[in-house]
Amino acid sequence: MFPGSRQEWVCCWGAATGPFPKRKRLQILVQLISLCGSVRCWSISPRTTPSARSGTNGSVPGPLIRMREGVPVTVDLFNDTDSPELVHWHGQIILADVDGAAEEKSLVVPANGHLRYRLTPQPAGARWVHSHVMAMSDLSRGTYTGQFGFVYVEPKSQPGAYDQEIFLATHEWEPFYTSAEDAEEMDPQQKARMAELAAELKKNDKPNGWEIGYQRFTINGKCLGFGEPVRVKEGQRVLFHFLNASATENIQLALPGHMFQVVALDGNPVPHPQAVEVLDLGTAERIDAVVEMKNPGVWILGTPKDDDRRDGMGIVVEYANKTGQPRWIKPAKSVWDYTLFGDNRTAPAPDEVIPLVIGKINGGTGGFNQWTLNGKVYDEKAEPRILHKGKRYRLAFDNQTDDAHPVHLHRNSFELTNVHGKPTGGVVKDVVTLKGFKKIDADFTPAMDGLVLFHCHQQLHMDYGFKLLFNVT
């Protein structure tokens, strides 16, 4: 969005059916983003019955918001529902009062009300915006909804030459509770630790609590085969911006016959762009990748998980003048490695190391698991940990559970310095996925004063204890 322009981003917050409200035209004195909340009915494929789905201007994701780094914008938030809302500008380094997190005492959009504020977008790159309310047991709130959209903060220089730019967001629909756990691929060390954990659970006689399953899977709000294809031409270099906008699911994506040249992670350029066959995105992670279109045909860009792809997690990529049934070829199994894109170097010593040991308290049949950091479930009454601007802190993550955790730090970015025992540097992110029984170190220097929230971006984990609050002075 550029000076003198007007961009409306109409976002459906809530869970009631009904048409979009009609609003008077807003006088524009500065750059303006307008978000208005209500809900309408639509289908994500002909197989689904039209139902109330929260989205953006009748679509998911919302229309792309483009900003210029360092150029202030005014944001108008309209909430036509009966519940207060929080809107989080994910990945941006902004003041706590507009970040959109209750724990940071951010401004709340009142029920049936309006909120206006200004923010200065930074840093450049692929960011996004989404609801940040606690869902708890209500699967119609928070990131279970379609209340999200891409935000692209225009960089001063683009990551390499390309002919076309495509934004794709994955999301799941119709969530339900299940006792089944979504097992991830494990190495021998993880399997051994898993066996120990199973023995402990058997001794304690308390099974795992509720997990979340989904009926439908989408890319850009449509099931595979029911949305518009990505149309390309042979010889093009296409820059894809991928976003995992799921509430709970980590995903993999592949495009048979093509490679992804990864140029940025979470919107931040990587030191060493590398070509990979399969992308791996934890919840809330973003990947920018350039694909050279040199294998003409009609292809499926989708998840290697057959069941999820059959239930919609894919999109057709169609070359010009090519027809026929979309083809899928299962990729070889691969292990995602953040260090592939980083520098092989030892990071400078931090001023302070903050150990963060992740634990789990099983909820038992019909209950909810609780999540701990250093043995404690988040307590909103506890005093936040004090940090100081200008100091370099090392977050030493130690996952003592079998679950993967996409951990997110608000209002800051961090640099990965050690991944599973391998030193690295230069990979800057705001979310990193910590696999079961693995360790990762990430360094950061607080950018601004005020409260800073750290949490798992898996909605169920965040809701039930996986949070920590810092106070930067």
Give domain 164-174+214-339's CATH superfamily: Cupredoxins -  blue copper proteins (2.60.40.420)
Contacts of 101 by beta carbon, 8 Å cutoff, 6+ apart: 86, 88, 132, 410, 453
Please tell me the predicted confidence (pLDDT) of residue 21. Answer: 34
Query: End-to-end distance of the chain based on CA atoms, in angstroms?
Result: 33
Q: Can you tell me which residue has the tokens 């001063």?
A: 156
Over residues 120-126, mean pLDDT: 97
DSSP state of 26: P
Nearest to 399 by CA among 352, 355, 337, 353: 355
pLDDT at 56 over 60: no
Identify which has the larger pLDDT, 6 or 383.
Answer: 383
How confident is residue 174, by pLDDT bands cut at 50, 70 and 90?
very high
Please tell me the predicted confidence (pLDDT) of residue 436. Answer: 97
Work out whether strand 164-178 and strand 211-219 pair parallel, antiparallel, or are unpaired: antiparallel
Work out whether strand 32-37 and strand 73-79 pair parallel, antiparallel, or are unpaired: parallel
Structure tokens at 39: 């809900």
Please state which CATH number belongs to domain 6-154: 2.60.40.420
What are the residue ranges spanned by the domains of the chain?
6-154, 164-174+214-339, 352-472
How confident is residue 308, by pLDDT bands cut at 50, 70 and 90?
very high
How confident is residue 430, by pLDDT bands cut at 50, 70 and 90?
very high
How confident is residue 46, by pLDDT bands cut at 50, 70 and 90?
low
Over residues 404-429, mean pLDDT: 98
Identify which has the larger pLDDT, 191 or 388.
Answer: 388
Ranges 53-62, 166-175, 263-272: which has the least confidence: 53-62
Q: Answer whether 6-154 and 164-174+214-339 agree in fold.
A: yes
* Tens digit of each residue's pLDDT (9 = 90 or more) over 3-30: 333 343 333 333 322 223 333 222 222 2
Phi/psi for 190 (5° steps) reads: -65, -40
Strands (E), 22-112: 32-37, 40-42, 51-53, 62-68, 73-79, 87-90
Please tell me the predicted confidence (pLDDT) of residue 268. Answer: 97
DSSP state of 309: H
Please tell me the predicted confidence (pLDDT) of residue 366. Answer: 85
pLDDT at 356 over 50: yes
d(CA 39, CA 440): 40
Nearest to 434 by CA among 399, 388, 464: 399
Ranges 8-17, 257-266, 301-310, 421-430: which has the least confidence: 8-17
Over residues 154-180, mean pLDDT: 89
For the chain, percent of residues with pLDDT exceeding 70 = 82
Phi/psi for 101 (5° steps) reads: -140, 125
Please tell me the predicted confidence (pLDDT) of residue 151. Answer: 96
On average, the pLDDT of the chain sits at: 88
Identify which has the larger pLDDT, 392 or 40.
Answer: 392
Structure tokens at 8: 């409306």
How confident is residue 48, by pLDDT bands cut at 50, 70 and 90?
low
**252: β partners:** 280
Query: Is the preceding peptide bond at 304 cis, omega within 30 degrees of 0?
Result: no
CATH architecture designation of domain 352-472: Sandwich (2.60)
Please tell me the predicted confidence (pLDDT) of residue 178. Answer: 95
pLDDT at 435 over 60: yes
How confident is residue 136, by pLDDT bands cut at 50, 70 and 90?
very high
Identify which has the larger pLDDT, 309 or 78.
Answer: 309
How confident is residue 62, by pLDDT bands cut at 50, 70 and 90?
confident
How confident is residue 204, by pLDDT bands cut at 50, 70 and 90?
low
pLDDT at 42 over 80: no
Please tell me the predicted confidence (pLDDT) of residue 335. Answer: 95
